[in-house]
């Protein structure tokens, strides 16, 4: 039964139109642009919910799987009769899920920003950037064509750049925006190379065609791609690894994670939308989109798994030592995305082997909700305290009871406490890891423990720890944030409470067939135990103000210091760029530019100038001189004619 999904184009079109209106005419009606943006996102969200309902419930399965529907497709650039770049909308379980996630979080952030950004000078500009981002992200998730995805991939990079650098009068924000853009651009170079290799062998840019050709074991295309070898790995492995580099850059996987903590310079709602819930999971989405191909190539999948697992634990360790609350959340995001990545890495393809895939998507879904909630809650706290530092907070629970409650819910969810959403997805991930690779399982378990620890360290430092300190500038201040800021918090908290009960494996699975993923009591118990250990430890250390954390950090000495300094990765990058690239590549290049390239130009201009300087005396303006010269010329010509 064919279904009409043509309205889905509106989901993309509405943010685009809002972007154009607020971008072009926003200055004339500042306050209206917030309402316009929010209303636009609300309607986009409603359309996505309706699409999800239609896709999963009304139409449902065809032959046991949810079919991929091409709602709209238009050839954009035709290279050869068989190779073209198309712009289109593809609906399949993961893209429908992403539509829901992106529009929901985006709507919440739009609503929240009405209060948070109130009185901002560039309020309309902010909303136009947010709409641009929403449009790009939606275009990315529904892409039918890997090149379309790449274009929107760059567009989200641009809007992230614009929003991170929103406070462009702050040098640190400008530096952060540049860093985010440059690091992800480097990663995207890998992505582009991967696309080119993949499409060179599969002779198509279309996702469905690529997947179909690259999973056909006996097809000539698959054999050719798998046989061509370069430095010990097949072309297909290389293509997938390069594409994964692109994904790792956007998703802040080690060692391309350095931009994410700095990106917290942007406004907090932006961090919630872009750097927690949507854009940073684009890498996970990319691997999931190409998962049928990845699952053919164990080597590529192993890369995904190890990078993901290492990033998860690496970021979790750093998060335990940071004092800026947004940076803690940034590292936490990186750690949780590492979780999603290694869940994909441990996943198989068929049936319940694909638990990792389902778990990864499930965690993406639940994480988007509770991490957005954490960021928005942190935004409310920052709005109140006017500081990002944990040291300036403490004892806020009486002052901000609602924020306190929703923050606690989100912290419990991310720590994996039942029955909140994070518990279900995390438990599935750990079960998948347990079935596949014990080493990864233990890394995941330890990370879960650390996650609970640093989240509760954060929570307790903000809301408990010290008695509340009255700030001097507090006179005009309200206890809680305005209603537009509270409402999104409450909605997201409600979502965090219930979405864990969605039977995700019925809808999203690697091979498309539903399977039952029952709760594994043993694994679940171990995971919850790890989380509780972390929570108890955090309460012990940070429940009341004391000097125990201080003593422990002194006891840990070098280890604490290096974790606090983020394991010197930034310094390493600086060393590499400033000392090595600057001295050995940039300086000689500058010398060549200055002395050889510029030198040639200067030579030409100098010769011209000197010559003209020399011959300008001919042009004296005196008639007698001209006559003399013409007379001499005539004589010379005469001599020439006579003697030669």
Partner 1 sequence: MPDISLSQILIVSFGLFFIGVYGFLTRRNMITMLMAVELMLNAVNINFVAFNKYLFPHKGDGLFFTIFIIVIAAAEAAVAISIIINLYRKFKSIDSDVADTLRG
Q: Which of residues 137-166 bind partner 1 (CB under 8 A)?
A: none
- Cβ 25 to partner 1 shortest distance, Å: 56
Comparing CB distances to partner 1, the nearer of 77 and 635 is 635
Task: Pick the stretch among 124-132, 487-495, 599-607, 611-619 that binds partner 1 (CB under 8 A).
Answer: 611-619
Q: What's the DSSP call for residue 616? A: G
Comparing CB distances to partner 1, the nearer of 600 and 628 is 628
Would you call the peptide bond into 312 cis, given omega within 30 degrees of 0 as the criterion? Answer: no
- Cβ 622 to partner 1 shortest distance, Å: 5
Contact between 641 and partner 1 by CB under 8 A: the answer reads no
Residue from 1, 28, 622, 644 that binds partner 1 (CB under 8 A)? 622
Binding mask 161-180 for partner 1 (x = CB under 8 A): --------------------
Comparing CB distances to partner 1, the nearer of 6 and 620 is 620
Contact between 627 and partner 1 by CB under 8 A: the answer reads yes
3-state helix, strand, coil in the chain (%, to 5): 75, 5, 20
Q: Which two tokens stand for residue 152?
A: 């929107």
Contact between 231 and partner 1 by CB under 8 A: the answer reads no
Contact between 635 and partner 1 by CB under 8 A: the answer reads no
Beta bridge partners of 87: 74
- Cβ 639 to partner 1 shortest distance, Å: 16
Contact between 642 and partner 1 by CB under 8 A: the answer reads no
Tell which residue, 151, 137, 163, 162, has the closest CA to residue 188.
151
Contact between 4 and partner 1 by CB under 8 A: the answer reads no
Backbone dihedral region of 46: left (phi > 0), alpha (psi from -120 to 50 degrees) or beta? alpha
Residue from 631, 637, 638, 639 that binds partner 1 (CB under 8 A)? 631
Could you count the other beta carbons within 10 Å of the beta carbon of residue 454?
A: 27
Task: Pick the stretch among 54-62, 323-331, 399-407, 613-621 that binds partner 1 (CB under 8 A).
Answer: 613-621
> Residues 6 or more apart from 198 whose CB is under 8 A from it?
146, 210, 214, 236, 239, 240, 243, 293
At 201, is the secondary structure helix, strand, or coil?
A: helix
Residue from 81, 232, 614, 621 that binds partner 1 (CB under 8 A)? 621
Task: Kindly state the number of chain residues that form the binding site for partner 1, as judged by CB under 8 A.
Answer: 12
Comparing CB distances to partner 1, the nearer of 229 and 630 is 630
Contact between 218 and partner 1 by CB under 8 A: the answer reads no
Distance CA 11, CA 208 (A): 22
Contact between 630 and partner 1 by CB under 8 A: the answer reads no
Contact between 636 and partner 1 by CB under 8 A: the answer reads no
Q: Helices marked H in 54-170 — which ranges?
A: 93-116, 123-141, 146-164
Contact between 618 and partner 1 by CB under 8 A: the answer reads yes
Comparing CB distances to partner 1, the nearer of 522 and 616 is 616
Contact between 634 and partner 1 by CB under 8 A: the answer reads no
- Cβ 618 to partner 1 shortest distance, Å: 7
Tell which residue, 31, 25, 126, 138, has the closest CA to residue 90.
138
Distance CA 458, CA 464 (A): 10
Half-sphere exposure of 454 (CA within 13 A, CB side): 27
What phi, psi does 295 have (nearest 5°)?
A: -70, -15
Task: Pick the stretch among 376-384, 411-419, 552-560, 627-635 that binds partner 1 (CB under 8 A).
Answer: 627-635
Task: Pick the stretch among 318-326, 394-402, 532-540, 614-622 that binds partner 1 (CB under 8 A).
Answer: 614-622
Contact between 1 and partner 1 by CB under 8 A: the answer reads no
Comparing CB distances to partner 1, the nearer of 169 and 619 is 619
Task: Pick the stretch among 322-330, 461-469, 599-607, 619-627 that binds partner 1 (CB under 8 A).
Answer: 619-627
Contact between 614 and partner 1 by CB under 8 A: the answer reads no
Distance CA 551, CA 393 (A): 21
Comparing CB distances to partner 1, the nearer of 217 and 618 is 618
* b/e sequence 296-321, b meaning 16+ C-beta within 10 Å: bbeebbebbbbbbbbbbbbbbbbbbb
Number of H helices, E strands in the chain: 27, 4
> Residues 6 or more apart from 613 whose CB is under 8 A from it?
none
Q: How many residues does the chain have?
A: 644
Q: Which two tokens stand for residue 469?
A: 């300190």
Q: Is 596 exposed, middle or buried (0-12, 13-18, 19+ CB in 10 A)?
A: exposed
Comparing CB distances to partner 1, the nearer of 25 and 631 is 631
Contact between 624 and partner 1 by CB under 8 A: the answer reads yes
Half-sphere exposure of 346 (CA within 13 A, CB side): 30
Q: What's the DSSP call for residue 58? A: I
Contact of 465 with 374, CB cutoff 8 Å: no
Binding mask 568-607 for partner 1 (x = CB under 8 A): ----------------------------------------
- Cβ 627 to partner 1 shortest distance, Å: 6
What phi, psi does 167 have (nearest 5°)?
A: -90, 70
Comparing CB distances to partner 1, the nearer of 595 and 620 is 620
Residue from 57, 231, 601, 623 that binds partner 1 (CB under 8 A)? 623
Contact of 416 with 531, CB cutoff 8 Å: yes
Q: Which residues bind partner 1 (CB under 8 A)?
A: 616-624, 627-628, 631
């Amino acid at each position: 039964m064919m279904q009409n999904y043509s309205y889905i184009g509106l989901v993309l079109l509405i943010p685009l139109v809002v972007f154009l209106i607020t971008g072009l005419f926003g200055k004339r009606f500042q306050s209206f642009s917030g309402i316009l943006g929010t209303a636009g996102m609300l309607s986009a969200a409603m359309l996505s919910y309706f699409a999800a309902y239609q896709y999963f419930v009304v139409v449902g399965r065809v032959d046991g799987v949810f079919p991929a529907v091409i709602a709209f497709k238009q050839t954009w650039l035709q290279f050869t009769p068989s190779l073209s770049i198309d712009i289109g909308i593809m609906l399949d379980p993961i893209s429908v899920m992403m539509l829901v996630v992106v529009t929901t979080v985006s709507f919440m952030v739009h609503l929240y920003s009405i209060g948070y950004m109130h009185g901002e000078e560039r309020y309309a500009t902010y909303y136009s950037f947010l709409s641009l981002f929403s449009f790009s992200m939606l275009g990315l998730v529904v892409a039918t064509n890997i090149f379309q995805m790449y274009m929107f991939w760059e567009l989200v990079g641009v809007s992230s750049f614009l929003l991170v650098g929103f406070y462009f009068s702050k040098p640190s924000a400008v530096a952060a925006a540049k860093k985010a853009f440059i690091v992800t651009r480097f990663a995207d170079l890998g992505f582009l190379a991967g696309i080119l290799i993949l499409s060179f062998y599969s002779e198509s840019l279309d996702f469905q065609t690529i997947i179909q050709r690259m999973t056909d074991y006996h097809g000539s295309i698959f054999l050719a791609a798998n046989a061509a070898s370069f430095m010990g790995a097949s072309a297909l492995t290389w293509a997938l690894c390069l594409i994964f580099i692109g994904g790792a850059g956007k998703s802040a996987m080690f060692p391309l994670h350095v931009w994410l903590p700095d990106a917290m310079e942007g406004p907090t709602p932006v961090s919630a939308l872009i750097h927690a819930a949507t854009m940073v999971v684009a890498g996970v989405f990319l691997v999931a989109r190409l998962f049928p191909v990845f699952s053919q190539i164990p080597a590529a999948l192993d890369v995904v798994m190890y990078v993901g697992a290492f990033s998860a634990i690496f970021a979790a360790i750093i998060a335990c030592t940071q004092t800026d609350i947004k940076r803690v959340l940034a590292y936490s995001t990186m750690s949780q995305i590492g979780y999603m990545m290694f869940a994909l890495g441990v996943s198989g393809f068929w049936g319940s082997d694909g638990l990792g895939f389902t778990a990864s998507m499930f965690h993406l879904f639940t994480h988007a909700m509770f991490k957005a909630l954490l960021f928005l809650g942190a935004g409310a706290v920052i709005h109140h305290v006017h500081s990002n530092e944990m040291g300036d907070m403490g004892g806020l629970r009486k002052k901000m009871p609602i924020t306190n409650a929703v923050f606690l819910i989100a912290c419990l969810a991310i720590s994996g406490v039942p029955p909140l959403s994070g518990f279900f997805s995390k438990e599935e991930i750990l079960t998948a890891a347990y079935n596949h690779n014990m080493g990864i399982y233990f890394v995941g378990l330890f990370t879960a423990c650390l996650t609970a620890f640093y989240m509760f360290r954060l929570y307790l430092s903000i809301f408990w720890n010290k008695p509340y300190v009255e700030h001097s500038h507090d006179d005009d201040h309200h206890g809680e944030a305005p209603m537009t800021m509270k409402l999104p918090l409450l909605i997201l908290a409600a979502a965090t409470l219930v979405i864990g009960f969605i039977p995700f494996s019925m809808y999203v699975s690697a091979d498309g067939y539903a399977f039952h993923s029952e709760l594994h009591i043993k694994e679940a118990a171990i995971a919850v135990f790890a989380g509780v250990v972390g929570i108890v430890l955090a309460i012990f250390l940070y429940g009341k103000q004391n000097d125990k954390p201080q003593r422990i950090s002194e006891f840990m000495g070098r280890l604490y210091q290096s974790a606090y300094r983020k394991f010197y990765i930034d310094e390493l990058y600086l060393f590499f760029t400033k000392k090595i690239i600057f001295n050995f590549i940039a300086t000689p290049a500058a010398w060549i530019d200055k002395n050889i390239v510029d030198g040639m130009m200067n030579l030409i201009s100098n010769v011209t100038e000197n010559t003209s300087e020399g011959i300008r005396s001919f042009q004296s303006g005196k008639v007698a001189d001209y006559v003399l010269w013409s007379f001499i010329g005539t004589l010379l010509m005469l001599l020439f004619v006579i003697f030669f």
